Amino acid sequence: MPELPDVETFKRYFDSTALHKKVRSAKADPDGVLEGITAAGFARKLNGRTFRKTRRHGKHLFVDIGKGDWFMLHFGMTGYLKYYKDPDDSAEYQKARFELSNGYHLGYSNRRKLGKLQIIPDPDDFIADHDLGPDPIESDLSFAQFRDRIADRRGSIKAALMNQSIVAGLGNVYSDEILFRVGIDPHTKVEKLGEKELHRIFRSMYTVLGKTIEKQADPEEFPRSYLTPHREPGATCPKCGGTIEKVTVSGRSAYYCPDHQRRGT
C-alpha cells in the first residue's frame, strides 16, 4: 500500500538505478495503467529520453524527461519498481518496462490497476489540479500551517490525516500509526482536539515518517513499539498490552488499541 514512505523508498530506488540513464526503448501495457496516452504515444514520448531528475510529492513520483515533459508514476495500492539485468526477467504483473542505456531494465508493476502512469507538462500544475496539500517532508510545513489546514475540519482525525488536500502522502496504514503513537482514537472528531493534541499529532507525523523512511517502509524493520507490524484484530498492543481492534472509520478499516487510544480530552 504505497504511501509517502513507500514512494520515497521507490524514489531512492529509482535514483540509484535508472536516474541519469537514457531510455533505449519504453513499452507499456495498453490495457494497463496509462492515463491520457496510448501505449504507442507513451513509447514515442519516452524513447531516447534521459531520466534527468526525480521529485516526490505525497504518493506521486515525478521524473523530468526533458523537453518540458515529466513522467508521473502513481503506485495505487499494489505498485512497485524492479530493476533487473536479464531481458527475459520481468516484474510480476509488470505494466511497463524501460530498457536503459546500460542494458538493464526498469519494470513498473501493478497487480491491480489502481495506479497511473502519465506524461505531464508540469508537476506544480499537476499538484494544484489535483488539490494536493503540501508534502510534509519536502515542504517546510510549520505547525501553524498544519493547524490552519486541519483545525476547522468536521470529520474524524483519521479522515483528515488521509485527506490529501490537507497534507499529501498519508494513507490508511500511516494515519493509524501516527494516532497510535500519541494515544488518540481514530474516531475522534478534529473539533474535539485541542492545540496541544494537534501539536502532538504533528510531531508524531514527523517521527513516524522519518523512522519508516529510514527503515525503507519495511514493517518488519519497524521498531517493536509500532502498530504496523501488529496490524491485525486480536493482536497484542506493543505499548500497553491491550488488544488491537479493527473498526471502520470513514469507510476505511482502522486498527487501534482502545486501551490506550482515547477520544479527545
Q: Rule CB under 7 A: is residue 5 a binding residue for DNA? A: no
- Say whether 81 sits in a helix, a strand or coil: strand
Q: Are 71 and 63 in contact (CB under 8 A)?
A: yes
Query: Does the footprint of DNA cover residue 155 (CB under 7 A)?
Result: yes
Q: Residue 20 or residue 112: which is nearer to DNA going by CB?
A: 112
Phi, psi values for residue 117, rounded to 5°:
-120, 135
Residue labelled with grid coordinates 531512492 = 12
Shortest Å, Cβ 233 to DNA: 8
The answer to whether residue 145 forms part of the interface with DNA (CB under 7 A) is: no
Among 11, 49, 56, 59, binds DNA (CB under 7 A): 59
Which residues within the stretch 77-136 sit at the binding site for DNA (CB under 7 A)?
A: 77, 93, 111-114, 130
Q: Which is nearer to DNA, 5 or 141 (CB)?
A: 5
Cα angle 86, 87, 92 (rounded to 5 degrees) comes to 85
DSSP class of 156: B
Q: Which is nearer to DNA, 25 or 253 (CB)?
A: 253
The residue (of 100 and 208) whose beta carbon lies closer to DNA is 208
Query: At its nearest, how many Å lie between DNA and the CB of residue 255?
Result: 9
Q: Who's near 84: CB < 8 A, 6+ residues apart?
A: 90, 91, 104, 105, 107
Q: Is 251 in the site for DNA (CB under 7 A)?
A: yes
CA–CA–CA angle 125, 130, 136 (5° rounding): 90
Does 172 sit near DNA (CB under 7 A)? yes
By CB under 7 A, tell whether 11 contacts DNA. no
Contact assessment for residue 184 and residue 227, using Cβ atoms and an 8 Å cutoff:
no
> Residue type for 83, please?
Y
Stretch that binds DNA, among 15-23, 140-148, 156-164, 208-216 (CB under 7 A): 156-164
Nearest by Cα to 156 from 114, 124, 188, 195: 188
Give the range of 1-9, 81-89, 138-146, 192-200 binding DNA by CB under 7 A.
Answer: 1-9
Minimum CB–partner distance for residue 156 and DNA (Å)? 5
Integer-rounded Cα Rg, in Å, for the chain is 20
Count H helices and E strands in the chain, helices first: 7, 10
143-150 vs 195-214: helix axis angle to the nearest 10? 110
53: contact with DNA by CB under 7 A:
no
Q: How far is the CB of 94 from DNA (least distance, A)?
A: 12
Residue 139: count other Cβ atoms within 10 Å of its Cβ.
13
Q: Which is nearer to DNA, 111 or 260 (CB)?
A: 111
Minimum CB separation from DNA for residue 153, in Å? 4
- Residue ranges binding DNA (CB under 7 A): 1-3, 58-60, 74, 76-77, 93, 111-114, 130, 153-156, 159-160, 162-164, 171-173, 246, 250-253
